[in-house]
Structure 1
């Protein structure tokens, strides 16, 4: 297997608005990030994935960019960005920027020019179409945030495509001038010294010619048109061109966010000889349990489903390509609430079990801010307390039309809203969790009084120190990075068990995903092995170190180095 620094790295995602406020206005900023770099160095991470800090009107919290070469006023100045970058590098921490180029803001200079007239030089930077004969949008596609994916523009009597909010018009990648603009702005940041890009919904950029109607479900007004823009016809041409023109010239780290990508498609995106990207973010595991209205009507899920998904990706990218490993990010609820238990009696063991499970898979692990102290979902009482445009639009479309009751919708929001991951980081038990001296842009989770960084750092047996130990373990043991993954007990609904193997070394990973005490009995393929050493675990050892029969307590995890009996 080809070795690379980005395979060995541990990435930490910062959502700047919620990380640390440096000037007391209630909004996280670049100065706040710089002030906490020592903390991240102590944690042991190698790379910061920085969610967008570009100039933006904030219709979608920075994912609607009005100037790709400037900094959002609320976050600070370019000088503060340069200082943050320099200080991060001084501590051995790389910076991976968010690249959002499926769409821009409607307040970007390109779009403001484009909407002036049909023959404007910037018109073809976006996707415009006349309405249907008799009126109406050019096709029946639905926006990812609800409603039609088309917005009528009276000045030129045409519609523009927006797969997200109406203030996020899609860029037209068919236009070589637009692609050149994108490559130039990427070069601008790489020349500044950044170390890579996480590419937002990058597999949306190629649309099928003609933009045809999608199949409508009975009674629906709009249709998910994903078959006409997910992994579209020219996507590989565009990414290979991007690699050739920009990425190949720098020692960068790249990961593409790719909803709907399959393992087979991921091989094309990440294969070593393909010259496209290094990793993709897929969504299969975080969509487990989705119900009639997707994540807003969550159903119970089975561990066998989760194991099947993660194992499919482990095996699928084993020979070529590479996995990105994550439980949560700015678009997902908190990991401990989503995949284990955030009840206080189980929160430590749940969070550390999930961390062990993730970091022991093959791939590059991503930690989302606050995950390392076991931050949990929040349950605000009122819809008025939520800020996320996706959440608010879903409430309007589902509760507002009677498809779900208010109570049903709020239950879905409490479990799956993106705002669960966007409440401010809880630094201490000071007011607002030490995040700000002002009024935070979204309320802090009330449990900050006992879940916070300060408390976690002071407690040697905390989730935080467990994460530090896991990261140190990864840096000292190549088997965690490069070892082959093999699933055990495929049909067990409580225990997630697998091995990692590198040359003559073999590790066994055991994770109890239940609040029950369960018995692990080694399967036949481990019959010739012994448990030589308990490498890490989240309980005090109870002395049953024989593989034939191991009692796993609620949410217990253990990692053993195996020896060969013969």
Structure 2
């Protein structure tokens, strides 16, 4: 059993932080959360039935991957009606009920907004491709064939192959950076931008509290449609999308102006927020937060914990650099370990490191986003070849690891058939992970030492601690025999007495108005003796393992201490 020692008190008052700063965001992949009508696909009523569970986790907001009307060529990221609910998931009335019931439990509701591209079945695109002079034609991006009759340029799809598809009816190519059923909207057209802003207003009027905006850094494109330079580091067998450098399709300056227009629509309503999906280096990423005079995303998504090698030195370097950059920019930090596009973090870091990783996510400064099932330690599921449905995998069969089905398997509620996700006689849309009989909500809910209850303990501790909610961050030196120092408020005289350099320990202090919490994370399998004078009189708040003490940080262990 892990060790947890009591409640912390503090003077945190309402209004010091916004809900999206102090809280935790929980991502739901609706197809995989809970099936209420036994068709093998999760739905809104299934989520409503599980709201008490969600509230028990200590999260603040639930974010839904797309639920809009869609032919599902990319599972909802191909939108055919931005103001409608796909019948697979329910109705607008079902959605209104869900929002009302979530708010009654103190939960905020966020939607996934997909403004870069629509479905090719959206009425706008149907009109646009009907003729070259249709009024909607300029809502999308069309080009004549190259002189040889081929594609207009060398732009690539994320899912493999060219980003252009030829339209026989009108004799031009249309742009799509994902599947051909996802034509790109032309954000240079002010009518498109007005329609997108109006879509946000529609959902906010129904009570939606925030939005995660899909591929927001792709909105602007080079108006001259120039070829992108080849990537000299690309090798055959890697994703074809990486074969060029995306200087004409990503992170163009005009993108920021477009985002500011979206932000202006949000700011017409009280206490709403926007998270932008952005895969960029830290300094570039933070420009998407804008400035006080020209605000953009409240939280530009920080995926670097996912992308950084899992060892203490690299993770500490990342956190130090990101926290310093956020401080310089005046923005607010956020952290992510998993989502619908990345393999489960319990699989990536290994079972031994699972709790250390969970502890890191929930104790760093800033807003954490949690992916459904990660509170249980869900791992990637095995997907047989005949059950693969992800277009990223189907379009690149020779590229290993690009498939996203393994991290989208159904939520594991119980040891019943199909993990309680759907009826025993119904085949779920993806197979349930094989470990569901042991890793499930029902089993872990009643086990005080379970990963689920460890997660709940962390969220409770985070909520009850001003240091973990509001506090500053300072990392500590943990090299062999080196004193732990944190600058002006140094923890002097203590050390980790390691047998070798590079112990794999990451340690940091969160502090607010005299309250100090020390976080110790052992990234290695070896026990590490501790000699910290500050631990005399300190209180152990949490250990990821049973029987923790003040003299040793055991292999793979996480410890939290309240310092005197």
- TM-score w.r.t. structure 1 length? 0.87
Query: In structure 2, do the counterparts of structure 1 residues 2 and 277 end up closer, same or farther at CA, with 3 Å as the change threshold?
Result: farther
Measured against aligned partners, the alpha-carbon deviations of 1:373-432 in whole angstroms (never above 9, x if no partner) come to 11112233x322322111222224x3xxxxxxxxxx3xx46xxx4222200000000000
Q: Which residue of 1 aligns with 2:519?
A: 509
The answer (yes or no) to whether the contact 2:302–2:335 under 8 Å persists in 1 is no
Contact 1:141 1:225 in 2 (8 A): no
Residue from 205, 208, 224 that aligns with 1:191: 205
| Partner-residue secondary structure (3-state), 1:394 | coil
Q: Gaps spanning 5+ residues in structure 1: where?
A: 290-300, 399-408
Q: Superposed, which structure 2 residues align to 1:73-112 within 5 Å?
A: 73-112=87-126
**With CA pairs under 8 Å and 6+ residues apart, which has the higher RCO, 1 or 2?**
2
RMSD: 2.1
Q: Are the counterparts in 2 of residues 474 and 480 from structure 1 also a CA contact under 8 Å?
A: yes
- The equivalent residue for 1:327 is 337
1:477 to 465, 468, 485: 465
**1:243 aligned residue (246, 258, 263):** 263
SS at match of 2:73: coil
- Cα 1:388/1:177, change in 2 over 3 Å: same
1:480 shift after superposition: 1.0
Q: Are the equivalent residues in 2 in contact too, given 1:13–1:369 (CA < 8 A)?
A: yes
Q: Indicate the residue corresponding to 2:414 in structure 1.
A: 428
- In the alignment, which residue of structure 1 is the partner of 2:41? 27
Go from structure 1 to structure 2 and tell me whether the alpha carbon gap of 1:322 and 1:139 turns closer, same or farther (over 3 Å shift).
same
Aligned to 2:327: 318
Shift of 1:273: 4.2
Residue-by-residue CA offset, 1:193-239 (whole Å, 9 max, x unaligned):
11010111111101122121111246878743522122212112111
Any residues of structure 2 matched to 1:363-512 within 5 Å, and which? 363-380=366-383, 382-396=384-398, 398=399, 409=400, 412=401, 417-437=403-423, 438-489=426-477, 492=502, 494-512=504-522
Residues 493 and 52 (structure 1 numbering): CA distance in 2 closer, same or farther, change over 3 Å?
Answer: farther
On the 8 A contact 1:498/1:510 being kept in 2, the answer is yes
Q: Distance in 1 between matches of 2:305 and 2:164?
A: 30
Query: What's the offset of the Cα at 1:311?
Result: 2.6
Residues 1:257 and 1:520: Cα distance change in structure 2 (over 3 Å)? farther
Measured against aligned partners, the alpha-carbon deviations of 1:289-314 in whole angstroms (never above 9, x if no partner) come to 5xxxxxxxxxxx64422332233212
> Does 2:504 align with 1:536?
no
- Preserved contact between residue 217 and residue 255 of structure 2 (Cα < 8 Å): yes
Unaligned runs of 5+ in 2: 1-14, 480-501
Question: Equivalences for 1:350-365 in 2 at 5 Å?
Answer: 350-365=353-368
Native 8 Å contact 1:190 1:250 kept in 2: no
1:317 to 1:552, Cα distance in 2 relative to 1, 3 A: same
Show the counterpart of 1:297.
none
1:531·1:560 contact (CA, 8 Å) conserved in 2? no
- Please say if residues 213 and 274 of structure 2, whose CA atoms lie closer than 8 Å, have aligned partners that are also in contact: yes
Per the TM alignment, residue 560 of structure 1 is displaced from its structure 2 partner at its CA by: 1.1
Cα distance, 1:532 vs. partner? 0.9
Contact 2:468–2:517 at 8 Å: present in 1 too? no
Q: How many residues align?
A: 519
- 1:456 offset after TM fit, Å? 0.7
SS of residue paired to 1:213: coil
What is the SS of the residue equivalent to 1:45?
A: coil
Question: Is 1:19–1:424's contact at 8 Å kept on the other side of the alignment?
Answer: yes
1:486 Cα offset (Å): 1.4
- Tell me whether 209-218 or 472-481 shows the greater mean CA deviation: 209-218
Which residue of structure 2 aligns with residue 294 of structure 1? Answer: none
Q: Secondary structure at the match of 2:32?
A: helix
**1:270 touches 1:280 (CA, 8 Å); kept in 2?**
no
The match for 2:561 is 560
